[in-house]
Amino acid sequence: MQLTEALLKYQLAWPHMHYFLAVLCLVAAVYKLTFILLKRKSVLKSFDAFPGPPAHLLFGNVLEFKQDGTDFFKLLKWAESYPYAFPMWFGPSICVLNIHHPDYIKTILASTEPKDKFAYEFIESWIGNGLLVSEGQKWFRHRRLLTPGFHYDVLKPYVKLMSDSAKTMLDKWERYANSKETLELFEHVSLMTLDSILKCAFSCNSNCQTEGGTNAYIKAVYELTNLINLRMRMFPYHSDLIFHLSPHGFRYRKAYKVAYSHTDEVIKRRKEALKEETELGRIQAKRYLDFLDILLFARDENQQGLSDEDLQAEVDTFMFEGHDTTASGISFILYCLACHPEHQKLCRDEICEALQDKDTMEWEDLNKIPYTTMCIKESLRLYPPVPGISRQITKPITFFDGRTLPAGSHIGVSMFATHRNPTVWENPHVFDPLRFLPENVSKRSPHAFVPFSAGPRNCIGQTFAMNELKVVTALTLKRYELIEDPNIKPKMIPRLVLRSLNGIHIKIKPVEPEM
């Protein structure tokens, strides 16, 4: 009887519970909407001095980007209409000032302002709080601890290892040279740069270039960069809960496990191998020091090293940054040279003279190819591997023209638009390596060309990257003639690094020996 009465009371109360939950949801929705509208009002006031393209109330400018290979050119069109900078909206209340002029870039990159939490918090869930995303004292400490890993003495032995990885790739290309089949560059170059970073920085021979099938780590990186880009563009996915419960969130976690286990295995193997070693000098007596050795033995002024979490973050960061950005750079360099045979020939003549009969590259050869280096820089200008970065300022900032932004504002630096800014570069879409003759460089702002960023938070691995770009370009041109495929033009898309929606395709043939 008592049970029946209790059930009856529960049934009578249940409709009221529905009303209570509905009112609760309504109050939460009104609160959230009010918060968004007040934040939007504040942001609009902050960006009042910066006119920009009209934005949708809910979706901002996101719907303008079709992800079909035309988005960068829309960005350039806006940059022409709004000199120096313009606001871009990502949803109803998040606005980023997109800057695309050296004088504006100098102001932000000369500072140590932290990376933008809106953009980089989505990356941090993958690569951790390493050098790319950390800030303040942690960033300063890690930068100081990692800098010895990029000393010339550490980088010198890498050149031969880079050459070995490049030669493995070029050997695989023989079937394309003989069959005149179209070659998709990014797939091959990504495997080569992963092979190279594993050999150089982690002393790990992976054989990833010669294994059959698709490399699981590269596939995971491709998936993660796609999903991070999608999350930035979709306002509802800015919520951790909504993204976690979505099908995309499930795919993200699956790809993350693959990427994490790859780097975790590299660290575990090295720790096991170094169990008995206590000094870098003893290791150096047996073999060259690599990046991971220096990470494991790094100590600050208090003799404190990196925690296991920090070590994992730095390895994840360098594994991704050290192979994916260089893969993008090399792929577009080879594409540019295929499209400009006259410059390709000048590079090849210079390379053959520098290397003579050698089929490898050595440290001393890197400075013997100035024209090739100018072509590499011109390709990095047109196709910067990292097309944009962002900061969130902690104090008010005033630009050279007097316009200001308050603390907390988001600022995006568009390398792509800056490198093609017609007020800085004459005929900006034309491939012209002579822009990088010393006398021409001296006439420009040093912030006109920033493929590796600039200032205190510039890319710590830029010398490593430039060395690899030179090695791979030189060995490729010495062996193959690159030919444009006019039927397949790259459709550029931003995916943390610059990629092509339809791949990067060229044809190749063996270089004819000179008589």
Write the burial class of residue 254 (CB in 10 Å: 0-12 exposed, 13-18 middle, 19+ buried).
exposed
Which of 399, 414, 425, 412 shows the shortest CA–CA distance to 100?
A: 414
> How far is C-alpha 492 from the chain's CA centre?
14
- Using only C-alpha atoms, the chain has a radius of gyration, in whole angstroms, of 26
Residue 459 assigned ligand-binding role: yes
Contact 471, 166 (CB under 8 A): yes
- What residue type is assigned to position 269 of the chain? R
Instruction: Name, in order, each residue with C-beta under 8 angstroms of 82's C-beta and a sequence gap of 6 or more.
Output: 50, 51, 52, 53
Q: How far is CA 252 from CA 169, 247, 498, in A?
A: 30, 9, 20
Alpha-carbon distance of 227 to 255, in angstroms, equals 10
The answer for residues whose C-beta is within 8 angstroms of residue 317's C-beta and 6 or more apart is 127, 128, 130, 131, 132
Beta strand ranges found along 349-491 (DSSP E): 388-392, 397-398, 404-405, 410-414, 480-484
Strand 95-99 and strand 410-414: pairing?
parallel
SS (H, E, C) 335-356: HHHHHCHHHHHHHHHHHHHHHC
What is the enclosing helix (H) or strand (E) of 187?
helix 185-202
**Cβ–Cβ < 8 Å for 220, 126:** no
For tokens 């150096």, the residue is: 284
360 neighbors 167 (Cβ within 8 angstroms): yes
Q: Is 408 left (phi over 0), alpha (psi -120 to 50) or beta?
A: left
Helix (H) or strand (E) holding 183: strand 183-184
Whole-angstrom Cα distance, residue 71 to residue 77? 10
Which residue numbers belong to the known binding site? 459
Which residue numbers belong to the known binding site for heme? 459
